[in-house]
Amino acid sequence: MNKQHTVRVELAGRGYDIQIGAGLLAQAGSLLGSFLSRPRLVIVTDENVARLHLSALASSLRQSGIDSESIVIPAGEQSKSFEHLANLCDRLLAAGVERNDSIAAFGGGVIGDLAGFAAAVLRRGVAFVQLPTTLLAQVDSSVGGKTGINTPLGKNLIGAFHQPVSVLADISLLNTLPEREFRAGYAEVAKYGLLGDSDFFDWLDANLDALMLGDAAARLYAVKTCCEAKARIVAADETERGERALLNLGHTFGHALEAAAGYSSNLLHGEAVAIGMGMAFRFSARLGLCAEAEAARVANHLERAALPASPKRIASKLRGAAGLMKLMRQDKKAQAGRLTFILARSIGGAFIAKDVEEKAVMNFLEQELSSP
Ligand SMILES: NC(=O)c1ccc[n+]([C@@H]2O[C@H](COP(=O)([O-])OP(=O)(O)OC[C@H]3O[C@@H](n4cnc5c(N)ncnc54)[C@H](O)[C@@H]3O)[C@@H](O)[C@H]2O)c1
Ligand SMILES: [Zn+2]
């Protein structure tokens, strides 16, 4: 089996490669050199990644004659704020980043979204490379060019589409990821199977233990398959006018649950997405769109991955069905009292359902929160 894969994101004039492999960080200097206008790179990272992996990255760059400087941000979702963005931009300018320079986002989705957005606005846009270090970032957030920050009114409400010029996903970095973060990222892996690839879902069902236990070949295959799916969807619909919305499977329910839990460590993004995907399939079954057995299979798989599949898990944080409904209306996908959901006819058969009636959603939420 190959130890390394390259997946191409085809975008006219802005296409790029995602390189995936074990131990790629050691080759970062040679893999990134051609993207730099001069042999210098400013790395944006967080405290945890800096402690564990920054020296390896810096020394790989040095071996290829590339000087680096790093800017270390506090770890956690709180860093996706205006305050941290302003501070980061000032530090990038102070580090002498010019219009032709590139910066590197070295971390999970928080660093990718924040540093990517800084790259989008700094000097009206500088190039950036993604070096994702979490499972979530390797299969989802580092690919596709969505960047941004949160405001008190909600997640990702300020942002820009800004594609990276290259993505290097070193799956060995996942070995230091806390198990709970790995499992949360796994929810987004399962999402690709659930939304459009039942064969991949079958493969995940059969290889779940290997993935969780750190089998490198299984992880490589999973990350590659997810990146291929995301690359294909992004190439077809870069700015989410249509098909890209399928990647939001589980996210309308999930974002409301995250908001209800106060965007805290009570409920990680991937955990909220897992519950949301469980709900999306049960809701689809309730509407007669998909078989109950499919919804049960989804819940069973998520539970095997030690992920929650029911909102009752955080019931104490929710203000009932009405409270959840209110939060869902605030989500950016709500329009004129009608909600857009990603529903499914089967595992692998998700579709965009516009105009879902609030009343049907409300009845479903009441049932979800009350059933034993
Ligand atoms: N732009 C997009 O398309 C997109 C898609 C999905 C999610 N997101 C965003 O991604 C964010 C979540 O990303 P995340 O789950 O990667 O969270 P994260 O960036 O907060 O990382 C999770 C934790 O793991 C630590 N960490 C990272 N890499 C590590 C490693 N190799 N070893 C040990 N610890 C490590 C981090 O310091 C952090 O504490 C959210 O803000 C979400 O909105 C963006
Ligand atoms: Zn997500």
**Which three-class secondary structure string do you get for 80-91?**
CCHHHHHHHHHH
pLDDT tens-place string over residues 259-296: 888 888 889 999 999 999 999 999 999 999 999 999 99
Residue 52, classified by CB atoms within 10 Å of its CB into exposed (0-12), middle (13-18) or buried (19+), is middle
Greatest distance between any 2 Cα atoms in the chain: 62
From residue 340, give the alpha-carbon distance in Å to each of 18, 145, 150, 253: 31, 23, 21, 11
Percent of the chain with pLDDT over 70: 97
| pLDDT higher than threshold 70 for residue 300 | yes
pTM for the complete prediction? 0.96
Distance from the alpha carbon of residue 269 to the mean position of ligand 2, in angstroms: 6
Q: How far is CA 42 from the centre of its chain?
A: 23
Angle at CA of residue 42, ends 39 and 48, nearest 5°? 135
Tell me the two tokens of residue 205. 């069902």
pLDDT tens-place string over residues 249-260: 999 999 999 988
Q: Is 311 in the pocket of ligand 1 (CB under 6 A)?
A: no
162 classed as catalytic: no
pLDDT tens-place string over residues 177-201: 999 999 999 999 999 999 999 999 9
Catalytic annotation, pick one of 47, 69, 181, 240: 240
Q: Is 159 in the pocket of ligand 1 (CB under 6 A)?
A: no
Q: Is 137 in the pocket of ligand 1 (CB under 6 A)?
A: yes
**Residue 317: which H helix or E strand, with range?**
none
Counting atoms of ligand 1 from 1, which one is nearest the CA of 47? 37
DSSP 8-state symbol, 172: G
Q: Confidence band (pLDDT; 50, 70, 90) for 1? A: low
* Res 223: pLDDT: 98
Q: How does the average pLDDT of the chain come out, rounded?
A: 94
Q: Is 247 in the pocket of ligand 1 (CB under 6 A)?
A: no
pLDDT tens-place string over residues 36-71: 999 999 999 999 999 999 999 999 999 999 999 999
Average pLDDT over residues 239-254: 94
| pLDDT higher than threshold 90 for residue 99 | yes
Q: Confidence band (pLDDT; 50, 70, 90) for 98? A: very high
The Cα 108–Cα 138 span in angstroms is 8
